[in-house]
Chains A and B, each alone.
Chain A
């Protein structure tokens, strides 16, 4: 009798979870995922009763593409980069999103005008802006501190190894900026043979001193280990090391490379309605501003900027650490997803060939 009772309770439990509403979100893990759980998921579940399951991936676009190819979509919302959002949208894999469906800002500005440039795509809505920036170890440059992208390439004045990401997207532009190109001519230059050669020539000057990294945690680790004196990496990770762990790092905003992360919903997802509800909720003004409390990434809405306050430690002002702050934007290169959709394969091959030849 007792066993029967246990069994029926268990069955009822299963039936309950099956009927309870849920939404499965694939994101990038780490501190970024934590910021989304705190800022979006908890209040969303409180407000709607829909459970949110977070799934971590190295790059959510990979499982998204795999699930679309296999015609077996198991998650509802994917947090992906702009270039992947555009590419997958053009391939018909994503649900189109009408900006009129998104919540307006508190003062009534429609979403279409409230989001920053490029933050609304046909099939995806941005939640954050993030930057690839240069950071250095203060203790290594006690006399004269580096301050620009050109200093990153100046091995004589600022000796020491450099950490760079192992891809053309976030290295070639930096070489051009350091070589004196202005931020708005980067893509014209990268589209021409001379420009690409110029970038590789500049990279040649530091090639022997570069430690290449692949995962976002690596540049922070390399700096902390003293393996490199300067590295480029994601601004949120450096912020975390500086503020949460007290490392003596400094960020150089000159030559920032700015990117967006967007929410997209694949066609034929198991919970399309809940997914849409989640997407709307997570990208409203308050939620985007709340996320900045947990990580140093800039909200994708203009109206969220004023609401950005203190870091979770309760004393660090977040605004100056945002990649969208005025200082940070002075010489920033915005990611051009169309350019990379066209030239990624070609430049990646050239980059790998350049890397492999000694």
Chain B
């Protein structure tokens, strides 16, 4: 019996030669269209099934990241509250000396911003680019509320001669459009001079590039350390009989399930100068009471604590891959005359690469964004870029700056991920 759902039906119609050569189903519809329709239906159903997850990812992940990125280059603190002066900047090209119209626009905008109580927003925005000018805006604003007399240039310069500073005018021009790259410049230790040219900031103000480098270097180091420490453990776990390996596995998992904060503070107890390790060393007579080792509140503290905390992220993917490696390969290599080192190097190790890749990627990306551990045990030399992002979020409340730093961090992680994909191939990743 031919049936519309019977996949052979179409072929059957062709065989009877009733049509113009296109494949048709039993009820005479072209097969391609019927197939497309049924596939669309299946796709739609699949889409509906993942819709909740998609919405969740969009709302909690994509939208916030998008807003963060927007904040890093969009700041209308000046342009929205100083409309007339912004208009003057738009009408007159860079290099035009501020004329009477510009000064009048400035005076007008200052007065209305002071009356609307938005002068603080304006001052804060310019203060990011020219430090020390916030109070220039707020104090002039207070006086402007009592009224400013023309000629405005002289009046404003009388109030404070800093109004004549070309660097201030250059910064106001930069801020007169809401879109700005200044936060990215600042995040890479750069600024604009009076003529708007991009220059490096003074050497003693440079901090971000160095911190980015340090973050990447420490993350690489920690990844390498977790590999060196984790590889033998994973191998042991994978080769021991199940009963023993399960017991050992608990020793890996138990700290993994323990709160990050607890583990970090435990390291503080162990490592500090009056801590357990120093006490034991003094008791054993290895070091004198006066030569207690400084193992915490510096880079060493960050490296030790982060390596320990991230170790399970290396061990678990390695272990899951190693379990699946057939031991007879190595035995075969040995029987063919390979030394144990050659057998390891040429037969066993290459098969662990998917696990190693996954572990390294996990550890590195987690390490790059680490915050609590370096904040608590890092001291001054163990700080990472995340600590400065947090500083701008909670202390200086310069969210645009925090967003620019975070965007740079995100961008560089994506580039590394892309490089990894090019060199190792993301298909070779095995997480478990």
Contact = CB atoms under 8 A, between A and B. Distances in A.
Contacts of A212: 297, 379-380
A194 to B, nearest CB: 14
Interface string B381-414: 1010000100101111111000000000000000
Q: In which size bucket is the chain B interface? A: 35 or more
Nearest to B203: A353
Interface stretch (A109-117, A126-134, A336-344): A336-344
B54 to A, nearest CB: 24
Interface residues of A, number: 41
Contact of A349 (B117, B205, B297, B375): B205
B417 interface: no
Given A353-B207, A356-B210, A341 B397 contact: no
Contacts of A69: 399
Residue with the greatest number of chain B CB neighbours at <10 A, chosen from A341, A346, A349, A356: A349
B369 interface: no
A165 to B, nearest CB: 11
Contact of B117 (A91, A341, A343, A345): A91
Interface string B116-137: 1111110110011001111100
A345 to B, nearest CB: 6
A87 B118 CA distance: 10
A226 B272 CA distance: 10
A54 B104 CA distance: 48
A62 B393 contact: yes
B132 A352 contact: no
A167 interface: yes
Contact of B205 (A89, A344, A353): A353
Contacts of A89: 117, 120
Contacts of B263: none
Contact of A350 (B123, B138, B205): B205
B324 to A, nearest CB: 45
B180 interface: no
B132 A346 contact: yes
**Which applies to chain A's interface (DSSP): helix, strand, loop or mixed?**
helix
A90 B395 contact: no
Interface string B137-174: 01000000000000000000000000000000000000
A91 B121 contact: yes
B135 A345 contact: no
B211 interface: yes
Interface string B26-47: 0000000000000000000000
A327 B133 CA distance: 36
A232 B395 CA distance: 19
A9 B127 CA distance: 57
Contacts of A214: 375
A280 to B, nearest CB: 22
A167 B395 contact: yes
A342 B211 CA distance: 25
Contact of A58 (B118, B124, B394): B394
Nearest to A167: B395
Contact of B120 (A87, A191, A210, A356): A87
B396 A344 contact: yes
B205 A355 contact: no
A126 B393 CA distance: 25
B379 A211 contact: yes
Contacts of A338: 135, 138
Nearest to A210: B380
Interface string A112-142: 0000000000000000000000000000000
A289 B117 CA distance: 34
A212 B397 CA distance: 21
A341 B297 CA distance: 30
A61 interface: yes
A345 B133 CA distance: 11
Given A227-B274, A346-B131, A356-B211, A90 B120 contact: yes
Interface string A157-179: 00001000011000000000000
A177 to B, nearest CB: 22
A354 B272 contact: no
Contacts of A353: 204-207, 210
B273 interface: yes
A341 B205 contact: no
Contact of B138 (A59, A90, A354): A90
Contacts of B395: 59, 167, 348
A250 to B, nearest CB: 20
Interface of A: 58-59, 61-62, 65, 69, 84, 87-92, 161, 166-167, 191, 210-212, 214, 225-227, 338, 341-346, 348-350, 352-358
The 6 tightest CB contacts between A and B, nearest first, are: A90-B120, A346-B131, A92-B117, A91-B120, A353-B207, A355-B380
20 contacts: A59-B395, A65-B397, A90-B117, A91-B124, A92-B121, A214-B375, A225-B274, A227-B272, A338-B135, A338-B138, A341-B135, A342-B135, A343-B132, A348-B391, A348-B395, A350-B205, A352-B207, A352-B391, A353-B207, A357-B210
Given A89-B117, A226-B273, 6 more contacts: A58-B394, A59-B395, A90-B120, A161-B273, A353-B204, A356-B211
